[in-house]
Amino acid sequence: MTQDELKTLVGQAALQYVVPGEIVGVGTGSTVNKFIEALAGIKDKIPGAVSSSQASTERLQALGIRVFDANEVGELAVYIDGADEIDGRGHMVKGGGAALTREKIVAAQSRQFVCIADESKRVEVLGRFPLPVEVIPMAAAQITRHFAALGGQATLRMKDGRPLVTDNGQHILDVTGLQIRDPLGFESTVNQWPGVVTVGVFAHQKAAVCLLGTSRGVETLVY
């Protein structure tokens, strides 16, 4: 099976976690796009979605799925999103699509995080994928020095020759060279550096379940 087929498989499998009559939290990325397509098939069973990015909002609305503001609704039953990496305990690195801040907000608003990913995302230790960190632009150099002290090399993410601007009007640093053996502690530490909006380690908002697309089919990992 191709990676795209595996994404389709897990996107469809995630439908079983959508609670009829309840608003669903929706993440961002190519795997989530498969979920959104599948969700359109059952859109009459749910009031709508809370979205984690402008890109997902546009896709949801184009398919006739109502999008609620996070402030209009209370706790969500489930949040469904992809990941750039997931370890054996459900800790993730996210933000490859630059939506990490809103993803973490919607994940924190939800009782259960269901991660959908193909098996290339499974790692023993987080850090193989460059770690995305959303930052206030004036703090970028200072945060880059903090990462250097930990052995990481931070690079400003660019788009069309300019620094990428997130949905929140901020910038992204991508950090290589890290081995994140204590995801909870690392997330707490980096979150406290002035100017960090969100670090792309999802340990406090880790996955409860991962639907992993493999050549043998969908494996359900529960953490």
List of residues contacting ligand 5RP (CB under 6 A): 27-31, 81-84, 94-100, 103
CB of 189 vs ligand 5RP, minimal distance in Å: 21
From the number of C-beta atoms within 10 Å of its C-beta (0-12, 13-18, 19+), residue 73 rates as middle
Nearer to ligand 5RP, 3 or 220 (CB): 3
Phi, psi of 200 (to 5 degrees): -80, 10
Residue with smaller CB distance to ligand 5RP, 31 or 57:
31
User: Which is catalytic among the residues 85, 103, 134, 187?
Assistant: 103
Pick the closer one to ligand 5RP by CB: 47 or 203: 203
Q: Report in angstroms how near the CB of residue 54 gets to ligand 5RP at its nearest.
A: 12
| Residues contacting 189, CB < 8 A, separation 6+ | none
Nearer to ligand 5RP, 104 or 144 (CB): 104
CB 140 within 8 A of CB 197: no
Length of the chain (residues): 223
Residue 22, class by beta-carbon neighbours within 10 Å (0-12 exposed, 13-18 middle, 19+ buried)? middle
Provide CB contacts within 8 A for 97, sequence distance 6+.
28, 29, 53, 55
Query: C-beta of 34: minimal distance to ligand 5RP in Å?
Result: 8
Q: Clarify whether 219 is annotated catalytic.
A: no
CB of 14 to ligand 5RP, least distance (A): 12
Active site residues: 103
